Amino acid sequence: MRIRIDLGYDGTAFSGWAAQPQRRTVEGVLSAALTTLLRSPEPVRLVVAGRTDAGVHARGQVAHADVDPRVWEAVRGRSERPAEEVAATRLRGILPPDVGIRAVSRAPEGFDARFSALRRRYLYRLCDDPTRADPLRRHDTALVRGPLDVEAMSDAAGRLLGLHDFAAFCRRREGATTVRTLLAHEWSRAPDGTVEGTVVADAFCHSMVRALVGAVVPVGLGRFGRDVPADLLAAGVRDPRVRVMPAHGLSLEEVVYPPDAELSARADEARATRLMPG
Q: What residues are labeled active site?
A: 53
CB 166 within 8 A of CB 262: no
Q: Which residues contact 212 (CB under 8 A, 6 or more apart)?
A: 157, 160, 169, 182, 185, 199, 229
* CA 170, chain centre distance (Å): 15
Residue 197: which H helix or E strand, with range? strand 195-201
CB 103 within 8 A of CB 88: yes
Helix or strand or coil: residue 60? Answer: strand
**What is the largest distance, in Å, between two alpha-carbon atoms of the chain?**
65
Of 197, 199, 139, 154, nearest to 11 (Cα)? 139
CB 97 within 8 A of CB 80: no
Q: List C-alpha distances in Å: 120 to 48, 142, 181, 212.
A: 12, 21, 11, 15
99-106 and 119-127 beta bridge pairing: unpaired
Q: Give the orientation angle of helix 208-220 with respect to helix 150-158, to 10 degrees.
A: 130
Of 203, 201, 198, nearest to 187 (Cα)? 198
* CA 40, chain centre distance (Å): 28
Q: Residue 186 — φ and ψ, nearest 5°?
A: -140, 155
Residue 99: which H helix or E strand, with range? strand 99-106
